[in-house]
Amino acid sequence: MKKAGVIRCQQTEDICPGTTDFKVAKDGRIAFEETGPVEITGFVSCGGCPGKRAIARAKTMVDRGAEIIVFASCISKGNPIGYPCPHYANMRDAIIKAVGPNIKILEHTH
């Protein structure tokens, strides 16, 4: 089973416990259909706007065994409040550069 680190929006932590993220990862559904079931080994926030802390946090998760970095749907899709992160593209691109080409990136969870 592959290991994944999830990055979520700090501003939605108080309204979303992440239970759907864990469930779809464990079951290999929705965004995880292409990877199959994964074990979430890290579940961190972006660190707050504009998401600069997410880069170091993603790198740390990779250093500790994550093979996949996943952006929770609160960042890329705006679930559950319907407001995606305006810094998402910059954060994603910086993380891809930091973790290298061998780490798979998933752009949402559910």
Count of other CB atoms within 10 angstroms of residue 77 = 18
What CA–CA distance (Å, rounded) separates 65 from 30?
A: 23
Nearest to 103 by CA among 70, 55, 72, 76: 70
pLDDT tens-digit series, residues 73-86: 999 999 888 999 99
What CA–CA distance (Å, rounded) separates 39 from 49?
A: 27
pLDDT tens-digit series, residues 4-17: 999 999 999 889 99
- Residue ranges and CATH numbers for the domains of the chain are 2-106 (3.40.50)
pTM reported for the whole predicted model = 0.94
Q: What is the pLDDT of residue 81?
A: 87
Average pLDDT over residues 22-34: 97
pLDDT tens-digit series, residues 35-48: 999 999 999 999 99
> Which helix (H) or strand (E) covers residue 22, if one does?
helix 19-27
Question: Does residue 85 contact residue 76 with C-beta atoms inside 8 Å?
Answer: yes
